[in-house]
Structure 1
């Protein structure tokens, strides 16, 4: 008897569970109305607006981070190009210094350095520079060694001290030029231009003038003074068509005129 009762209860319960749940249209309307009232709640609307605003702010921050990362990559690439160019110029200078000089070159250089007046290519005259004694040469070499070891800030400071102490030394044009190169690596383009300009104006007969014109134009371009840079490059190309830096000057001029220089 108990077993029959158990089977009856199990059968009726299973039937009830299997029966479909019927939801009336009225119940659906009530549920929709309740949801609509919740959505119209001022607190919920405010929270929704705040969430949308925060999402916009997050997107704006992400865009800014992306731009900063891009600029950082560009800056690192620019710094690497500057370092590579400087190393190449230092290597070139060292190679020149290691070449055997003609037997009478020292006497010619000494006579030129001691002459009170030197003639320039334009036919004018300029006060001669003093020859470098051992102490002066040692000071210059110490500054140049700092540059070779990539201690650019210290090198710039040492060259500045040299220029202040020996403005009329035969090594002053070189000191001004390499100070400019050190500032270029340090991304201090204003100071770099000041030193390149010093070579151009104060030491117009120096062999560093063509390079100073080219690198000075590069510094001016970085400062946003594009037209001045173009004029400086045109001057270098016209005055020194066969100089070793002239092909680079032509390439930079082409980039500036095309608006592609960075």
Structure 2
């Protein structure tokens, strides 16, 4: 009986010891789980922070790229404007060169005309005496107007000089040249409408004049300035077809190629 009681007591002690031993294990397990969860939260928080940093970095890179693209676009637009200005200046320079070449050609034509006139066969003394006052006045008036252009470069004074010549000698053989010179001077001063009247006068009233081709060319150039490209093409084509192998035809062909 006594032995059985000792045995029961021992078993109870062992059972209690086991229970008490299990508690720390369970608490330890609980603490470990809590720590793991906390560590996971810290890791997740750290991961989220890194992601945010990466997103902010990408956003900054995107903004920087957009700014670079905007700067490049602005530079391209500035370059385009500069190129347009340069092209306009180049076209204006080319036109001025064309005008200089054409003016020199006209000067030589005038000199050839005057030289040929001096070498012409003399008329009879009576006819020369009767015609001299009129011819002298006509020649002097025309030569004076031309000299204002070629020698004095006084274009402002040359315009009324040619206007007076046309008024005083409407039937003169120099009339088509006078109309052309007047149109050229008015065109140079930017008076394109008045210049067109003079060039049309040459084309319509003096179809046999050697100034018709140049007048048609000038009318085409004026049409271009007025953004009337269809009319300009028609006039340039007319120069090429009706007056081939002329300097005016070459210039007209060059302009046609640019359309």
- Say if 1:183 and 1:191, in contact at 8 Å, map to a contact too: yes
> How far, CA to CA, are the matches of 1:173 and 1:261 in structure 2?
30
**Alignment RMSD (CA, Å):** 4.4
User: 2:115 maps to what in 1?
Assistant: 98
Q: How much does 1:77 deviate?
A: 1.7
Q: Distance in 2 between matches of 1:57 and 1:144?
A: 52
Closer, same or farther in 2 for the Cα pair 1:62/1:229, shift >3 Å?
Answer: closer
Gaps of 5+ in 2: 1-42, 224-228
> How much has 1:144 moved relative to structure 2?
1.0
Deviation at residue 214 of structure 1 after TM alignment: 0.5
- Does 188-197 or 100-109 show the bigger shift? 100-109
Q: Which one of 23, 28, 52 corresponds to residue 33 of structure 1?
A: 52
**1:144 alignment partner in structure 2:** 146
Q: How far is 1:70 from its partner?
A: 2.0
Name the TM-score, length of structure 1 as normaliser.
0.57
Unpaired segments of 5 or more residues in structure 1?
A: 1-23, 115-129, 238-245
Q: Which has the higher contact order (CA 8 A, sep 6+)?
A: 1
Match of 2:256 in 1: 259
The structural deviation recorded for 1:217 is 2.0
1:29-178 correspondence runs (5 A): 30=49, 33-37=52-56, 40=59, 52-99=69-116, 100-105=118-123, 131-132=134-135, 134=137, 137-149=139-151, 150-164=153-167, 166-178=169-181
Paired residues, number: 207
Q: Deviations over 1:139-170 (max 9, x none)?
A: 43332112104444543343234334554455
Alpha-carbon offset, residue 69 of structure 1: 0.3
Change (3 A) 1:161 1:235: same
Select which of 199, 209, 213 maps to 2:202.
199
Equivalents in 1 of 2:192, 2:57: separation in Å? 62
- Aligned equivalents of 2:45 and 2:200: distance in 1? 89
Provide the C-alpha distance between the structure 1 equivalents of 2:66 and 2:258, rounded to a whole number of angstroms: 45
Inter-partner Cα distance in structure 2 for 1:52 and 1:59: 10
More helix by share: 2
When normalised by structure 2's length, the TM-score is: 0.58
Cα distance in 2 for residues equivalent to 1:197 and 1:96: 23
Rg comparison, structure with higher value: 2
Aligned to 1:11: none
